[in-house]
Amino acid sequence: MKIRSLIAVALIPQILIVNFLRNNPSFIDDYYVRIIFNNLIKINSFLFSKIEIPIGEIIYIVIIILYIYLFVKVISFKLYDFLNLVAFSSILYFLFYFLWGLNYFKPSLVDKLNIKSEYEFNVLDETINRVIFEINKESSSISEDINKSDIFNLLNTTASNIKKSIIPDIFLYQKVSGHYIPFTSEAIFVDKIPLVDMPIVILHEQAHQNGYANEGEASFIAFSKAINDKDPYIRYSGYFYALINLLNEISKKNSDKLDDYITKLDEKVISDIKKVQNFWSKYSNSFLDKAQNYIYDLYLKSNNQEAGIMTYGEVSLYIIYYYQKL
């Protein structure tokens, strides 16, 4: 009882310490990332990378079952049961931030690179035309025989700790293509997603694996790695991801010009856009999708991502910056 009480009470100083570190990003960069996080990744990779199934997803299932059990027990209004719930939450809170979550408070790439949040239309126009040129070039050189196993083998290097989800449908109905598990450092992808999405999803989760917690930053790292890869299909996936994000920017701000860009695209690119749209339309507007969006938005905002779920869309700023600096 005494140890349980101490663990439960420890949640308060943990929250205070995390809030302190939130306002001291240089400390995270200089000490946490260099001394703790980089070594934790190596340890987790050694422990879990050779196991084919995602141990982290099994841990998640166990955690959810335990939480349901503890919440049910708390209804009895016994102090013992309440302490169990708080102590369990305290342990998870510590493990999450110690193993990975403090990466949310690192100095952002926006600040490091001095990226502006606003840009003129001519800059967006120039960027999307360069991406269209590149993706049309790649579309003519990629093999039609490539499959998901080929992509996985190209990106799954030794000790990379990439795994296929064992509960893919649950994530699809939340419109989630992949996720990162801090407890085991596993980069998880849903192998039912369209082929063109697969490389960028894996590279996005690998970016999380390497300490890029911000969603926009992880997407940009994935894009830059993809377009510089030696394999043409992985490059194609990177340009496809950039194209979709930039077209979204056009549709929000200059929708009348959208058709002008679509007509410039190769037939294969247009075909892939339609395939992706048709695939995700089956999972749109589900209850799980809406609930997950709301919860994840709150989660991101509580971890230094003020834009919440809109942080994903910030990748367009990074892509525009990338091409302006070439």
Counting the structural domains of the chain, the total is 2
Average pLDDT over residues 169-196: 94
% pLDDT > 70, the chain:
90
User: pLDDT tens, 48-107?
Assistant: 999 999 999 999 999 999 999 999 988 877 777 889 999 999 999 999 999 999 999 988
Q: Are residues 95 and 187 in the same domain?
A: no
More confident residue, 235 or 29: 235
Q: Which domain does 274 fall in, by range?
A: 109-324
d(CA 288, CA 306): 23
Q: What is the pTM (predicted TM-score) of this model? A: 0.90
- What confidence score (pLDDT) does residue 158 get? 67
Q: Are residues 309 and 190 in the same domain?
A: yes
Would the pLDDT of 128 be above 50? yes
Residue after which a domain boundary falls, among 105, 122, 155: 105
Q: Are residues 7 and 78 in the same domain?
A: yes
Would the pLDDT of 283 be above 90? no
Q: Are residues 213 and 94 in the same domain?
A: no
Res. 282 pLDDT band, cuts 50 70 90:
confident
Unique residue bearing structure tokens 């991801």: 241
Residue after which a domain boundary falls, among 105, 140, 157: 105
Q: Are residues 100 and 162 in the same domain?
A: no
Residue after which a domain boundary falls, among 55, 88, 105: 105
Q: Which residue type does 22 have?
A: R
User: pLDDT tens, 200-243?
Assistant: 999 999 999 999 998 889 999 999 999 999 999 999 999 999 99
Average pLDDT over residues 252-264: 89
Q: Are residues 247 and 164 in the same domain?
A: yes
Res. 270 pLDDT band, cuts 50 70 90:
very high
Q: Are residues 121 and 263 in the same domain?
A: yes
More confident residue, 153 or 159: 153
Q: Are residues 164 and 228 in the same domain?
A: yes
Q: Are residues 224 and 82 in the same domain?
A: no
Mean pLDDT (the chain, rounded): 87
Q: Are residues 283 and 187 in the same domain?
A: yes
Would the pLDDT of 298 be above 60? no
Q: Are residues 57 and 197 in the same domain?
A: no
Q: Are residues 117 and 220 in the same domain?
A: yes
Question: Phi and psi for 71 in degrees, rounded to 5?
Answer: -65, -40
User: pLDDT tens, 2-26?
Assistant: 888 999 999 999 999 999 999 888 8
Res. 307 pLDDT band, cuts 50 70 90:
very low
Across 29-38, 94-103, 289-298, least confident range: 289-298
- What confidence score (pLDDT) does residue 308 get? 40
- What confidence score (pLDDT) does residue 311 get? 44
